[in-house]
Amino acid sequence: MKTSRFLSTRHVWWGAWAALAVSAAGIALYSVPAYLTGDPTQSKIPINPDVALHYLSITIHALPASLLLLLGPLQFVPALRNRYGKLHRVVGRVYMVSVVIASVAAILAATFSVDGISVQVAFYLLTAAWLYSLAQAYRAIRRGQIQLHRIWMIRNYALSFAAVLLRGFLILGLAARSRYEWLTFDDVYTTSTWASILVSAGAAEWFIVQRTLKPLARNRRPESAPSPQKGQL
């Protein structure tokens, strides 16, 4: 009974990983071609016509961001991580550099954005959390704290995955807009931006509790209570 339950749970987690990897790859491969043309009219994001560097900043953000979306899921496969440790470290370095480049470009892109202050603040906060979680992950692995490194990388990739959720929420929002005329595109985009960040961050914390903290707490033996001293109640 326990074995079948374990296998069922394992299949659920692998199914979730496959869905994450496929959707991340789909968005990455869908986004990249538009920014390889050098044509601002092909941009998936509205371009500020008054700032020539806006399209360039989006392009510099989109290319490494797409790469790290593709690489991220591979880093969470235990068999690959344990068997090919050197490859894991090389891919990790590429991922880290990609996050840094994409983050700097994201700050510029958000500054030049024409989507309003709410969206700008959302992207500023996302970028800050993205860089902070990466720095903490790097700090942990340098200290040999492997489990803590994995926890911070889960958080970091979840924030990366917000780009995928943003597209999904946009599709749902635009479908709702076609039915409810009072909804504007700005409403849909702003809501989708904040929802993608909050859902990604929340899902990461839930995953960390379920897959890391709960098993650790379950396997930890309770400390035996000290024997009462003579004369004590």
pLDDT, position 232:
44
Asked whether residue 128 is domain-assigned, the answer is yes
Asked whether residue 118 is domain-assigned, the answer is yes
Asked whether residue 45 is domain-assigned, the answer is yes
pLDDT, position 104:
96
Number of domains in the chain: 1
pLDDT, position 225:
45
Q: Do 70 and 24 contact (CB within 8 A), yes or no?
A: yes
Asked whether residue 41 is domain-assigned, the answer is yes
Asked whether residue 200 is domain-assigned, the answer is no
pLDDT, position 221:
58
Asked whether residue 16 is domain-assigned, the answer is no
pLDDT, position 108:
93
What's the pTM value of the predicted model, to 2 decimals? 0.85
| Mean per-residue pLDDT pooled into runs of 10, the chain (233 residues) | 58 84 91 84 82 90 94 89 90 96 95 91 96 97 94 96 94 89 89 95 92 73 50 42
Asked whether residue 46 is domain-assigned, the answer is yes
pLDDT, position 3:
53
pLDDT, position 224:
46
Segments forming the whole domain that contains residue 66: 21-161
pLDDT, position 115:
87
